[in-house]
Amino acid sequence: MSPAQQKRLPEDGGPAVKFAQALRDARDAAGIATDSDLAAKANFSKSAISKALNGRALPSAAIVKALAKAFDDEPEPWLQRLADAHAAQKNAPATTTSAADEHLSSKQADGCFWWVLGVLAGLAGLGALLTFLAPEKTGALEWASGTPVSNQGKPHEGLGKPDHQSWSWQEITPNSTISTNFATAPRSAAIKTLGGQLALAQGCDAMIAWTIQADGVIVATGVLGLATADRLHVPLHGLTETINITATRQDNATCATSLTWTDEIQFRA
């Protein structure tokens, strides 16, 4: 999407909108024509970049650092700007309504109650119909950048329930490193727990050291040997947007191996 085609941000928006506008201005100043071009320079998926520029929520530090690099800017001023935006968002006063606006006569309130009840009942029926007719959604995570990975599983749907997918890295050779960034799909931005199992394939006497980061912060590490598996259960805080898995072969065996992550994503209800 080109800047001319992008939806205009509201002029009276909050910290997230102002930060998104600053990112758009920097993109334009850098002469980057489209979100696709920006995604290529930042080494992130187009959907993750579009999400950072839509002003609905503040982006993660990992995405901000990647965008700063794409703009040929130093990341530190942008990260400070992001921290200031988070602070402003946290300290923003709640919207209040005057007593005059809230006043309704008992008769009006009674009529309003039954009207709202009827609307909610209709929406509930419509929601059930749409759920029945809607196509399957994407999983909790989607590949964003880095080492290619195959998705071998199919997610289970449901807010507050685990989603399960199987991601696999093939042909990992001795002394090599794989590193993959996953972006959370829009509906699952609020991840409560990151879990599942990391497992090495049988048939190769390999040893792999692995690290998992959430928005640039290391949350789990471990070492896998021949045909072994590590269970994961990592509580996450805030609106985690980016998961990185990095794994390095630490052996001299001549065979190649594969690594599989069967994830279990728990959403915030």
pLDDT digits (tens, 9 = 90+) for 15-36: 999 999 999 999 999 999 888 8
The per-residue pLDDT for 110 is: 59
The CATH number for 187's domain is 2.60.120.1060
6 lies in some domain = no
Is 140 in contact with 183 (CB distance < 8 Å)? no
The per-residue pLDDT for 218 is: 87
Q: Are residues 147 and 235 in the same domain?
A: yes
What 3-state DSSP class applies to 22?
helix
- Give the type of residue at 19: F
pLDDT digits (tens, 9 = 90+) for 99-137: 444 444 455 555 666 677 677 766 666 555 544 443 333
The CATH number for 39's domain is 1.10.260.40
Among 91, 124, 158, identify where a domain stops: 91
Q: Which of 46-50, 130-134, 181-185 has the lowest mean pLDDT?
A: 130-134
> Which ranges of the chain would DSSP assign to H, the alpha helix?
15-29, 35-42, 46-53, 61-70, 75-91, 99-102, 106-133
- Say whether pLDDT at 70 is over 90: yes
Strands (E), 99-241: 141-146, 150-151, 163-172, 177-184, 191-200, 208-214, 217-224, 229-235
The per-residue pLDDT for 102 is: 45
70 lies in some domain = yes
In percent, the amount of the chain with pLDDT more than 90 equals 21
> What mean pLDDT, rounded, does the chain reach?
77
Domain that holds residue 169: 141-267
Q: Are residues 74 and 173 in the same domain?
A: no
Label residue 192 by pLDDT band (50, 70, 90): confident
Label residue 269 by pLDDT band (50, 70, 90): low
pTM for this predicted structure: 0.52
Label residue 235 by pLDDT band (50, 70, 90): confident
The per-residue pLDDT for 133 is: 43
DSSP letter for 254, please: S
